[in-house]
Structure 1
Amino acid sequence: MALFQVVRDWVQLWYYRYLLVTALYMLQPWERHLFHSCLAVVLAMSIYSTSVFFPKYIASILDYYGYYDGDI
């Protein structure tokens, strides 16, 4: 049980630091949730776009420099 408490305290400390650095501690809870929701949507779209387009982009760069002869 002590390990769980240590991990929980560590996560709470880092969350508190995140709130202080981003100045989110001044917002109302609903505003904070709205901000986190928007951040999650932007992060999800970035991960999706990177996973879809990045391999083709790297393949085209490697093809340009002659390191890749496959079909894009």
Structure 2
Amino acid sequence: MICEPACRMNFKNLREYLAWLYYQYLLITGIYVLEPWEKSIFNSILFSAIAMVIYTSYVFVPIHVRLALEFFSGIFGGQPESTMALMN
């Protein structure tokens, strides 16, 4: 498949946009003043913390949401699942 000039332009725009986002990240966090080894340590700690938050929310949030729904359905008159099975 041959890439047309418009396709090349889109890749160039995407590359420029990603470079702009990375530049914004450097400015917002203030790590543009750090040395390369300091940047890598900072990025490693930051991205591992973000990964831990994502993993923890993936594992534990659904459990807590289910428990909260069961609790509030009991308070507001919802029928427990065990009695629903007995009625059938």
Structure 1 length-normalised TM: 0.85
**Cα RMSD over matched residues?**
1.7
Higher-RCO chain (CA-CA 8 Å, sequence separation at least 6): 1
Tell me the distance in 1 between the aligned counterparts of 2:56 and 2:20: 32
2:17 aligned with 1:10, yes or no? yes
AA matched with 2:69: L
Tell me the distance in 1 between the aligned counterparts of 2:45 and 2:80: 40
Tell me the distance in 1 between the aligned counterparts of 2:79 and 2:59: 19
Alpha-carbon offset, residue 48 of structure 1: 1.1
Task: In structure 1, list runs of 5 or more residues that go unmatched.
Answer: none
Structure 2 length-normalised TM: 0.71
AA matched with 1:39: L
Alpha-carbon offset, residue 69 of structure 1: 4.3
SS in 2 for 1:65: helix
Runs of 4+ in structure 1 over 6 Å off: none
% identical aligned pairs:
34
Task: In structure 2, list runs of 5 or more residues that go unmatched.
Answer: 1-7, 82-88
